[in-house]
Amino acid sequence: MVDLHCHILPGVDDGARDLSESVKMAKKAVEQGIHTIVATPHHLNNRYENPKRTIIDRVEELNQALREEKMNLTVLPGQETRINGEMVAGYEAAEILPINHTQYVLVEFSSSQVPRYAEKLFYDLQTKGLVPVVVHPERNQQIIEQPEILYNLVEKGALTQITAASICGDFGKKIKTFSLQLIEANLTHFIASDAHNTVNRTFKMREAFDLVQNKYGNDYVYLFQENAEIVIEGGHVIKEVPERIKKKKFFKLF
């Protein structure tokens, strides 16, 4: 398995605190069947700045440590950038780092809302040859309440990645239900761990794929796992036609 979203780099954000914790996370990933991790430290989220060059250097250091531990795991460079109006300029200035130097760039919204300029920004990124990938949209309150926002972004070429732990119910029943709705509506294209540690924010990839397999069958498992492989190689992601999520109506009984 490929994990496209993981905070495994030591000491750069709210993920692994030090190298020893990174190694523990790596061991847990291997146990889950993961052979490749994209390290995606937070960038420009009001607390952390992790520009491209810094991440590349840290990834090489971590890979060297994993080789010394004789671990069958490869870490690739990536970045989780908080959405901002200067992303195009940041990319041109070599500060924004797409996944493994491909065209796919992870974009994070706040947990509460989607900025009004998101659609225009995504268009501008796409004119530069980039493909924006919205991370964990299932945990964004405005998208939960107005799924049409995500539909419009996907319909115009954006991709999305939901978190394995969301599917497993770790963030609550509401977020689990919405995650499954996104899968059913073809509004997500990847499942990734967004792991931060080995305790309360761990991988859950195997558990999530087991749930997807039991509920939707092997085709969905293949789709998500194949797409992750495609992304790190810079290929063309498999996409089904997105559908609108119909909000359930609740009627009062008199």
Per-residue pLDDT, averaged over 38-43, amounts to 98
Closest among 71, 135, 77 to 102, alpha carbons compared = 77
Asked if the model's pLDDT at residue 41 lies above 80, the reply is yes
pLDDT band at 246 (very low <50, low <70, confident <90, very high): confident
Asked if the model's pLDDT at residue 55 lies above 90, the reply is yes
Per-residue pLDDT, averaged over 21-30, amounts to 98
pLDDT at 247: 66
The Cβ of residue 145 has, within 10 Å, a number of other Cβ atoms equal to 11
Per-residue pLDDT, averaged over 166-193, amounts to 98
Share of the chain above pLDDT 90, in %: 95
Model pLDDT for residues 2-20, shown as the tens digit of each residue: 999 999 999 999 999 999 9
Asked if the model's pLDDT at residue 82 lies above 50, the reply is yes
pLDDT at 45: 82
pLDDT at 248: 56
What's the one-letter identity of residue 57?
D
For residues 118 and 92, the answer to whether their CB atoms sit within 8 Å is no
Q: What is the C-alpha separation between 245 and 149, in angstroms, rounded?
A: 11
Asked if the model's pLDDT at residue 205 lies above 60, the reply is yes
Model pLDDT for residues 84-102, shown as the tens digit of each residue: 999 999 999 999 999 999 9
pLDDT at 249: 44
Model pLDDT for residues 212-245, shown as the tens digit of each residue: 999 999 999 999 999 999 999 999 999 999 999 9
pLDDT band at 251 (very low <50, low <70, confident <90, very high): very low
Asked if the model's pLDDT at residue 69 lies above 50, the reply is yes
> Any idea how long the chain is?
254
Share of the chain above pLDDT 70, in %: 97
Q: What is the pTM of this model?
A: 0.94
pLDDT at 14: 95
Asked if the model's pLDDT at residue 188 lies above 90, the reply is yes
Domains of the chain, earliest start first: 2-233 (3.20.20.140)
pLDDT at 47: 87
pLDDT band at 254 (very low <50, low <70, confident <90, very high): very low
